[in-house]
Structure 1
Amino acid sequence: MSSSAARQVAAVSPASQPVFFPDEILEEIFLRLDAAADVARASAACTTFRRVVSERRFRRRFRSLHPPPILEPNAPGVFRPFKPPHGSAPAARAFAQAADFTFSFIDTPRSWQVSDARDGRVLLYRRAKTAAAFPGLMVCDPLHRRYIQLPAIPDAATASEGTSGFRSLPRSSH
């Protein structure tokens, strides 16, 4: 082996070589993404990703693991079921009739504000009359009409951490 060939081999380190994953591994990675929008963005990255995501087997598995949402994203605190021709319309109508989104099952429902909703549970926070760093928090299940109030965080604990308090999170579009 000539010295120039040896230098060329030495110049190409294993770390600089691209790593190729088999399609089965890529499929498992993409199945773990939470939202279909994330899968669509990943498929736009390269032709290999697009090929994996567009396969019938992948789409069938993704739909079975990630059922479509039944509530339309709206302003915070507003829940509207999807309407036909959306595929989730029948399930959404049944869910809206069965669930109690007025939160009448909790004491003083008007003093609570919706902050976020995920997986059928709703995070509420108490509208504070004082400027407390962290207001009362409650997790509700409007379908089963159950709730649990989270213990208050002492003001001394929040002051030592230098946090600015609780803020309502912007609504996600999933």
Structure 2
Amino acid sequence: MAGAGEEPPRGEIPEDVVDEIMVRLPSRSSLARAAAACSDFRVLISSPRFLRRHRARHRPDQGVLLGVFSCSAADGGFHPAEPPYPAAAAACAVAEAADFSFAFLPDPEVGQEDGAGKALGWIIRDHRDGRFLLDRVSPGGGGDLFTDLVVCDPLSRRYVLLPPIPEELRAAVNRPLGVLGGRRWCEPFLAPVSAADNEAAEPSFTVIWTARCPRKVVAFAFSSRDGRWREVPSPECFVWSRHRSPFGCPVHAVWNRRFYAHGCFYWLDCLTHRWLVLDTRAMELTLAEIPSPASFWEEHVAVVEGADGKVGVFAHDFYHPGGNASLYYYTIVHDGDGPPRWQLEKTVPLPWPASHSRPYSIRAAANGCLILQVAHGSPAFMTSRHSMDVELFKIDVKSFKLERICRTRCAVGDLCWPYFGFPPLLSLPTV
């Protein structure tokens, strides 16, 4: 019996019991807080065996938004979140641990150049689930259409070079239109991790390659599980016009704006109310007509993952007569046998005055949130500078509150992606 004033002895909890408690924590964000409690928890939680068990037990966890990554990131385009953003510390840790210069990727042989005399360097084409997809002009031929592709993980510095697309599949590509301002004639991107991939002991990935030809979209899919390219069925139809209204978004800008929500990728042609839809579960392309309630431009619209499996759309007007800007949130609803339609769910007033010189623009969308860019000085469409000072803000479909991510410098017209992830101690190799 303990004496007066003495603390009664406490028995230690067995390690296997601690392991079972920790593996039941609902997210890796919860694990991060537990790891900060003591060193023993940190050692347990950071072990690959434990993280694989946790990943297999819980639904896929995309992590928290750690910043924004630009297309020009080969020269250091990761913009980590800054205080007082809640994930600023984790963003700083990732920025210090990862090699976002991608110096670990194979270099072209000395003297190898493209037709314009430029070195055959890597260009970032996509980011998803901790992986990056880059391409470069192939020294073996193929030009800006059939490029070399690599999937890599800048935290673990692992990479996989993809095999070339077979000649029998290449033959289907005829007179494609350019993307990335004419720097490329193809649009490769990463498919999301499936439930089966998330539970597998070894990571796997899928890359989708597309080219927009005059009367159809040609698409191929590569799976790292068997190392093969396959054709993706596509409708034989007139997809988009090469020549569009001078008041509309140019076709290459339409093609560059790709969105993902609940198993499908979307490209929107607001001028004709047509949506190109790629269902990654059936691996099939279809064309849908979904008239918008207003004359939105493609630059002013973004598809996001809404609640309860709904497809959400953020949009804003081109011109605000009273100078009071607002962001509109819609969901796409189906009324019986009728065509899909946009249903207004929320109007979010924006704090920046706007009339002709709108200071903000939609930068990217992912995982149910939108990234807004606020320019300092002249807006992007009025400046001839190659880059400008901007602030980046996040707004999601749960709270509809604006959160400042960081202040940085971005290239005008550059593509970018929200970077979701975890601190290095909670990150498993993705390649």
Amino acid at match of 2:78: F
C-alpha contact 1:137 1:149 (8 A) present in aligned 2: yes
> 1:94: Cα distance to partner?
0.2
* Length-normalised TM-score, structure 1: 0.54
**Matching residue of 2:132:** 122
Amino acid at match of 2:150: M
Distance 2:148 2:71 in 1: 22
> 1:65: Cα distance to partner?
4.4
Residue 90 of structure 2 corresponds to residue 91 of structure 1: yes
Residue 99 of structure 2 corresponds to residue 100 of structure 1: yes
C-alpha contact 2:125 2:134 (8 A) present in aligned 1: yes
Distance 1:73 1:166 in 2: 21
Residue 165 of structure 2 corresponds to residue 153 of structure 1: yes
Distance 1:72 1:82 in 2: 8
2:122 to 112, 135, 154: 112
| 1:1-174 to 2 correspondences below 5 Å | 65-77=61-73, 78-108=77-107, 111-128=121-138, 131=143, 133-160=145-172, 162=174, 164=176, 166-167=186-187, 169-170=256-257, 172-174=364-366
**Matching residue of 1:51:** none
Query: 3-state SS of the aligned residue for 2:151?
Result: strand
Q: Deviations over 1:98-119 (max 9, x none)?
A: 0001111122187111001111
Distance 2:147 2:163 in 1: 10
Amino acid at match of 1:93: C
Q: Deviations over 1:34-92 (max 9, x none)?
A: xxxxxxxxxxxxxxxxxxxxxxxxxxxxxx94532112254553211111111110000
Amino acid at match of 1:167: E
C-alpha contact 1:99 1:143 (8 A) present in aligned 2: yes
User: How large is the Cα RMSD of the aligned pairs?
Assistant: 2.8
Distance 2:143 2:125 in 1: 17
Of the structure 1 ranges 121-130 and 91-100, higher mean CA displacement relative to structure 2 is found in: 121-130
Distance 1:106 1:151 in 2: 16
C-alpha contact 2:131 2:152 (8 A) present in aligned 1: yes
C-alpha contact 2:80 2:88 (8 A) present in aligned 1: yes
C-alpha contact 1:116 1:122 (8 A) present in aligned 2: yes
C-alpha contact 2:146 2:186 (8 A) present in aligned 1: yes
Q: Which runs of 5+ in 1 are unaligned?
A: 1-63
Which one scores higher on RCO, CA 8 angstroms, separation ≥ 6? Answer: 2
Query: 3-state SS of the aligned residue for 2:134?
Result: strand
Distance 2:151 2:64 in 1: 23
Structure having the higher helix fraction is 1
Distance 1:157 1:114 in 2: 24
Which structure's CA Rg is the greater one?
1
Distance 1:173 1:90 in 2: 22
Distance 2:62 2:106 in 1: 34
Q: Which runs of 5+ in 2 are unaligned?
A: 1-59, 109-119, 177-184, 189-255, 259-363, 367-431
Q: Give the length in aligned residue pairs.
A: 111
C-alpha contact 1:73 1:173 (8 A) present in aligned 2: no
> 1:147: Cα distance to partner?
0.2
> 1:128: Cα distance to partner?
4.7
C-alpha contact 1:133 1:158 (8 A) present in aligned 2: no
C-alpha contact 1:70 1:91 (8 A) present in aligned 2: yes
Query: 3-state SS of the aligned residue for 1:93?
Result: helix
> 1:154: Cα distance to partner?
2.9
Amino acid at match of 2:171: A
